[in-house]
Amino acid sequence: MELESYIVNAFADSPGRGNRAGVVVSPEHPPEEAMQLVAADIGASETAFIAPDGMLWNIRWFSPVKEMPLCGHATLAASRVLFGKEPWSDGLVFRYAGGTLPVRRHADDSIGMDFPLDDYLRFPPDPAFDAFFGPLHLKDCICGSRTKKVILVTGEETDLAAISPNFTGMAEYRGLCSSGIAVTKASAVYDFESRYFNPWAGVNEDPVTGSVHTVLARYWSEELKKRSLTAFQNSWRSGRLLLEVGDDTVEIRGKARIVLQGTFFL
């Protein structure tokens, strides 16, 4: 089987930046076991598999080790591929297990995706967090109601880029944050910054993450009393996200660049 495949830098418009995603386009989805093998070989934090379904596109996301329920950067990458195929189009809709994801292309060639806005619950810090990151002087701890992603809020004085997590200890932990964990703070340059880690999905650090911003957007919108937010994910392949917070959805907006196109031989 030959599969049309791409590598796309999401939330970036240059090589070596943003979050690298795989995109595989086929008339129908390959078997699940095959998609997992392809994702493992591509080796990106997530690979999006897309197949046409009438006026919509079915989409599924796989990390190198398991299927993911939702992925922002690989959806952005898939959108860039499809808009490249249909340059006259400025909108499309993906269907996934949880519903639909409308996507639109803006005048500056950025792409906006409407994701479900996640609510959150506060909880006391787990002592394991200090073992993961060292003392962070936390101001808040929250967990996404739908995504189950844990977010640790620290002070603006914290240097997020200097955090060196204990990934071995994280991977061995089985508890609240095993769906992924982020550290975030308010920023003097952007509205807020973050880093995101998910060794439980085979990805120690995800460079720029759309799905965690469904929680971050609600939290910082409420904290800062703003609907339009600029976010910066401060990883080694950093990226900027524009967020427009609605009542039930958040538009996650960014640019993407195709850096490799070819055929995967399955």
**Would residue 46 show up in a list of annotated catalytic residues for this protein?**
yes
Q: Which of 63, 116, 104 is nearest to 254 (CA)?
A: 104
Q: Which of 4, 46, 172, 223 is catalytic?
A: 46
Q: Which of 116, 103, 97, 113 is nearest to 49 (CA)?
A: 97
* C-alpha to C-alpha distance for 197 and 170, rounded to whole angstroms: 9
Q: 164 is written with which tokens? A: 């060196």
- Nearest 5°: CA angle at 6, between 99 and 253? 50
* C-alpha to C-alpha distance for 68 and 75, rounded to whole angstroms: 12
Q: Which of 95, 241, 116, 251 is nearest to 182 (CA)?
A: 241
**Checking DSSP bridges between strand 19-25 and strand 46-53, what pairing results, if any?**
parallel
Burial (0-12, 13-18, 19+ Cβ within 10 Å), 178: middle
Residue 179 CB contacts under 8 Å (≥ 6 apart), including other chains: 147, 148, 149, 150, 198, 200
Containing 101, the helix (H) or strand (E) segment is strand 99-105
Q: Which residues are catalytic?
A: 46
